[in-house]
Amino acid sequence: MRKYKYQIPRRITQIATLFLFFSGNAYGWQVLRGNLSSAKVLGTIPLSDPFAMLQSYAAGTAIAADALTGALIILVFYTLLGGRVFCGWVCPVNMVSDLANKIRTTFNLDITWKSWNIKRGVRYWIIALSVVLSAILGVAAFEWISPIGALHRGIIYGFGFGWAFVLIVFLFDLIAVKNGFCGHVCPLGGFYSLIGHFGFLRIGYDHDKCTTCMKCIEICPEEQVLHMVGIQSGAVRSGECINCGRCIEVCDDNAVKFSNIYSKEYL
Amino acid sequence: MPERREFLMKTVRGLGLAAAGGLAWSGFIEEGRSAPLILRPPGAVPEKDFLASCIKCGMCVEACPYDALDLARPGDGKPIGTPYYTPRTNPCYMCKDIPCVPACPTGSLDKTLVSDKDESGELRLNINLAQMGLAVIDRETCIAYAGIQCDACYRACPFIDKAITVDYTRNIRTGKHAMRAPVVHSKACTGCGLCEKACVTRKASIFILPREIAMGESSERYIKGWDERDEERMKDVTEKVTTETPRSSKDPIDYLNREDF
């Protein structure tokens, strides 16, 4: 069970979020209505995707009060929490990406289908491109092609041809680039990386306990954030860590754990 | 110098890739948004602003008690994720409280466009102000125009005798029957589409089009003198404008005095 200590709760939050959205539309439940772009909790608290609002603003919209409040709530929440909790615990594409990864490892595809070499920084360029295109075209550009949107809207309102967007992500991750979409391309992931630098909930690493088995680096979808492993104790500072906790699950030495980086240990 | 050159070349490559990707991306968006026939929920801001502000959250879709609204799916040929309705299958039932409009978090559905002032001067929602589209009649397939006594659209219209009236005329072909032809009036029609749903022909002979598509526009200088309100259109005309054509540039008197006249 320890092996799935975080994986099970992550799947629960991911699926529960989708299910509550689905039920909001299908059965009229008030718990969570809308979708991951914008939602209302219990019919009162607004939530909005801050990256979508940024694009909308670039497209020339005066952001309405409801949407702005919702975007600020999300922004503050994930900034305080730290890391890309959205990507690891909420976004449904994480499940697609994890499935592709699972197949890659099970069939040892890392060797036969060696990952293409794409830089992890591509996502930041795509953020810039999203904003520029939004300004030029007058629409929220990434929202138009987002496989995340295609997936959650597909589940809540019906897929149409949207399954293709999701399949593209799956195949890209499976055949072309390991963690290709979530770890390299996705501008929403990039956006949360940028704001995820400052939060308190981060992975802490204890060099004294570590036996340098490197299992954590092997399993990590953003292995560059664990650069300190085998070198010195410390916490993950990069916002690119998705706080999925898989490094904790695979560690047999209790050398990694969720920690508060503002506690004495890490200051 | 080679380092600087390398840096420059890398930058150029990056920009080139961004341009290529950006163009493909823009192409996809441009194709997807050229859907001039899409019908938006009541209170929708003009299409250009709508596309910029709609966040594709589906709150209006969920708020609709008749499930009339749908979010466009990839492959529908409509701007992905934006709400629309299809009158033939599921028209707008024009709820008095317009639940879809206040549900919108971004103002893409704007309350002020479907509100007027009540007796105390306060804004209240009024669905009758909605301008979702305009009913258009194909007189060649409409059976009422062929002389059959059908008034399905007229009876279905929530603005009976305002948005749709019936013209009673003599049926010249038979010489002994009346024609009862439905006529749509753009001033009252909201485009709800109840008429389109009710139409009995195989493919609806009365159907909703966006108002920009369905309506023409005459210049400010063509005023119906018998319609007081029509003169309002002239209020912005300030300067004298004459249209010059090759023929009008010459004085008509010259023309009359020409030898070959």
Instruction: Kindly report, residue by residue over B141-197, the tens digit of the pLDDT.
Output: 999 999 999 999 999 999 999 999 999 999 988 988 899 999 999 999 999 999 999
pLDDT band at residue A62 using 50, 70 and 90 as cut-offs: confident
B55 inside 8 A of chain A by CB = yes
Residues on chain A touching B26 (C-beta within 8 angstroms): 133, 136-137, 141
Contact B29 A137 (CB under 8 A): yes
Residues on chain B touching A137 (C-beta within 8 angstroms): 26, 29-30
**B37 in Cβ contact with B24 (< 8 Å):** no
Q: Which of residues 9-28 of B touch A (CB under 8 A)?
A: 14, 18, 21-22, 25-26, 28
B35 inside 8 A of chain A by CB = no
In A, minimum Cα distance to B71 occurs at A157
Of the candidates A164, A40, A121, the one whose C-alpha atom is nearest the C-alpha of residue B73 is A164
Residues on chain B touching A129 (C-beta within 8 angstroms): 18, 21-22, 25
Contact A157 B32 (CB under 8 A): no
- Can you tell me the distance from the alpha carbon of A40 to that of A34, in angstroms, rounded to the nearest whole number? 7
In A, minimum Cα distance to B23 occurs at A133
Contact A38 B105 (CB under 8 A): yes
Structure tokens at B143: 């059976």
pLDDT band at residue A264 using 50, 70 and 90 as cut-offs: confident
Overall pTM surpassing 0.90 (yes/no): no
In this prediction, residue A1 carries a pLDDT of 64
Tokens 């309705």, residue located: B85
Amino acid at B60: C
Q: Which of residues 68-87 of B touch A (CB under 8 A)?
A: 70-76, 79-81
In B, minimum Cα distance to A38 occurs at B57
Residues on chain A touching B81 (C-beta within 8 angstroms): 37, 143-144, 149, 153
For chain B, give the longest Cα–Cα distance. 97
B147 inside 8 A of chain A by CB = no
CA distance, residue A67 to nearest chain B CA (Å): 5
Contact A133 B62 (CB under 8 A): no
A216-237 pLDDT, tens digit per residue, is 999 999 999 999 999 999 999 9
Residues on chain B touching A67 (C-beta within 8 angstroms): 55, 105-107
In this prediction, residue A139 carries a pLDDT of 93
Show Cβ contacts of residue B155 under 8 Å, excluding neighbours closer than 6 positions: B198
Say if residue B261's pLDDT is above 80.
no
Which among B33, B74, B79 has the least Cβ separation from residue A162? Answer: B74
In this prediction, residue B160 carries a pLDDT of 94
B214-225 pLDDT, tens digit per residue, is 999 888 778 888
Task: Report the percent of chain B where pLDDT is more than 90.
Answer: 68
In this prediction, residue B126 carries a pLDDT of 92
**A129 in Cβ contact with B25 (< 8 Å):** yes
C-alpha separations of B17 from B14, B115, B254 in Å:
5, 48, 65
pLDDT, mean of residues A242-264: 92
In this prediction, residue B231 carries a pLDDT of 82
Task: Report the percent of chain B where pLDDT is more than 70.
Answer: 98
- Can you tell me the distance from the alpha carbon of B15 to that of B21, in angstroms, rounded to the nearest whole number? 10
pLDDT, mean of residues A157-167: 91
In this prediction, residue B251 carries a pLDDT of 73
The count of residues in chain A is 267
CA distance, residue A106 to nearest chain B CA (Å): 33
Structure tokens at B103: 């549900």
pLDDT, mean of residues A180-195: 95
In this prediction, residue B254 carries a pLDDT of 72
The count of residues in chain B is 261
B39-75 pLDDT, tens digit per residue, is 999 999 999 999 999 999 999 999 999 999 999 998 8
Of the candidates B185, A102, A186, the one whose C-alpha atom is nearest the C-alpha of residue A194 is A186
CA distance, residue B215 to nearest chain A CA (Å): 25
Of the candidates A144, A142, A151, A228, the one whose C-alpha atom is nearest the C-alpha of residue A189 is A142
Contact A129 B49 (CB under 8 A): no
B212 inside 8 A of chain A by CB = no
CA distance, residue B201 to nearest chain A CA (Å): 29
Contact B55 A143 (CB under 8 A): yes
pLDDT band at residue A56 using 50, 70 and 90 as cut-offs: very high
Helix A163-171 / helix A93-106 crossing angle, nearest 10 deg = 40
Please spell the DSSP secondary structure of A179-238, one letter per residue: THIIIII-HHHHHHHHHTTS-SEEEEE-TTT-----HHHHH-TTGGGGTTTTT--EE---
Coil, strand or helix at A125: helix
C-alpha separations of A218 from A84, A152, B156 in Å:
19, 29, 66
